[in-house]
Amino acid sequence: MSTTPPHQPDDRTGESPGAVATGRAGHNGVLAAMCLALVLVVASVSALNLALPDLAVDLSATNSSLTWIADAYTVALAALVLPLGAIGDRLGRRNVLVAGTVVFGAASLAGSFADSTTTLIVWRVVMGLGAAMIMPGTLSTITAAFPPEQRAKGVATWSGFAAAGAILGMLAAGALLEWYSWRSIFVTSAAVALVAALAAILLAPDTKDPHPEPPDVPGAVCTALGIGTLVFAIIEGNEQGWTQPPVIAALVVTVLAFTAYAWLGLRNEHPLLDPALFGIRGFRAGAITVLVQFMAVFGFFFVGLQYLQLILGYSPLKAAAALVPVAVVVLPVSQLTPRLVRRVGMKVTMTVGLALLSAGLFVISRIDVDSGYLPFLGGLVLAGFGIGLSGAVGTSAITGSLGRGQQGVASAMNDTTREVGSAVGIALMGSIYGSHYRSSLPASLDQLPADAAAAARDSAAAGLHVAEQLGAGGAALADGVKAAFMDGLSASLVVVGAIVLAAAVGCLFRAPKTPPTSD
């Protein structure tokens, strides 16, 4: 990716740093096209979470399989976003973005015909490949097209849609599931991919580096291998046990891969992502903030939606609507964040944002089977304020730490931290939830027929389905399954809430007081 000093002409446009590269509809058109493509990618991380109870029954999916169905897409996206962002620098970001919508749309359509968890996981991986082609060009096109004085507003809007897009995707999925099966989500995603391609072609400029650097193949392999094995270790460690040879091997490979990436990157003149950038305080603080925020948000969506559907009995659409308060809070707060940063500083805004997000998770971790929606809503609102503050300021810290000629690098880092955070969050919360759920199931489960008991251990959705089939005699089983689910939900929220709180403390002591600025 480009590492041109900030005062030289922009590598992507050939224009001076103050020039504006816009498509046929000006800045608003560029912003609309890029945010639509962004929402397509982000919504596909969260939309399928609403269908998890149906998938558990329809495809006989275990908790581990459900985690992989949700996370396969995100792992592929996180592992490939850096190298495919570099390809976009070379071939043109809009060109790669449009090609990505084709891959994404075709895989999504194919996924609608899946008849097993393995097949569905494979197509989710291919969708992640397409998403990794789409994602890098969205932010870097905005930062290239907007002049410095408007860039913070463009980045804030992008950040707002990055968070709210997950809710929009769940609302759309919820509406579809009211009348159609989970397969309709994949068909609709394919249609939206087509619209996103047309919008990018008509409204956005194509920007690229006219002097591309040599591809960093070792760096790409190390990052992809490290991310993939890390997520595998988290999911399978809780499923098989942390002392099992495959899990230990995955952890060893993770450490070796990231160590090799750092060692090679510091010795490569043109690394995929220079490890030395983490020496910049604003860049490092922004990356950590975005990482833990997305880890918390998408991990929470994975388990939180199941609470609304399985415990509160909400329909898919009602469950999605129950999360709308997050978007209602996030979008305006993210727009106000640049003004708040100018007034109180970046450190304070970052720290408060992460602290509020952590507080929201802890509030929700205290609910039980009989709590209802209002305590859940209180935690959502707290978390929403935290997401709006931390997401926008974290992204601005990353992009502001590097010059205009390095915005491709900044965008890639921002995308990578978001997707790695999402992948790790889904794996971590899903695995902690799954292990606590299984260990908290009542001993009376062993009195059921072997198939019924195995189904109940596989997932809470299957356990409640078994209880329903037992009629009046299944009431005790249903109560036990719900109690076990709440134990798993609480444990996963406490762990991730603690991680977010630790990040807040780190920002308080290590983040720069004022935001970095790029020319």
Scan for tokens 């019924």, then name that residue: 452
Position 234 scores a pLDDT of: 84
As a whole number of angstroms, the distance between CA 114 and CA 191 comes to 18
Q: In the prediction, which pLDDT does 406 show? A: 65
Q: Helix axis angle, 475-510 relative to 460-469, nearest 10°?
A: 160
3-state secondary structure of 372: coil
Nearest Cα to Cα of residue 309 among 55, 115, 70, 121: 55
Question: Measuring CA to CA, which residue among 56, 20, 3, 52 is closest to residue 466?
Answer: 56
Tokens coding 412 = 């890639």
pLDDT attached to residue 22: 56
Instruction: Count Cβ atoms within 10 A of the Cβ of residue 368 and give its class: 0-12 exposed, 13-18 middle, 19 or more buried.
Output: middle
pLDDT of residue 108: 96
Q: pLDDT, tens digit, for every residue of 488-515?
A: 999 999 999 999 999 999 999 988 887 6
| Per-residue pLDDT at 342 | 86
Which pLDDT score is estimated for 227?
87
pLDDT at 258: 92
Mean pLDDT of residues grouped by 10 in the chain (519 residues)? 38 39 66 90 86 86 84 87 82 90 96 93 95 87 76 76 79 90 94 94 79 80 89 80 87 94 87 81 89 92 90 92 88 84 89 96 94 94 92 82 67 80 88 90 84 85 87 83 94 96 93 69
239-243: which pairs have CB atoms within 8 A and are 24 or more residues apart? 239/63, 239/64, 239/431, 239/434, 239/435
pTM, full prediction = 0.80
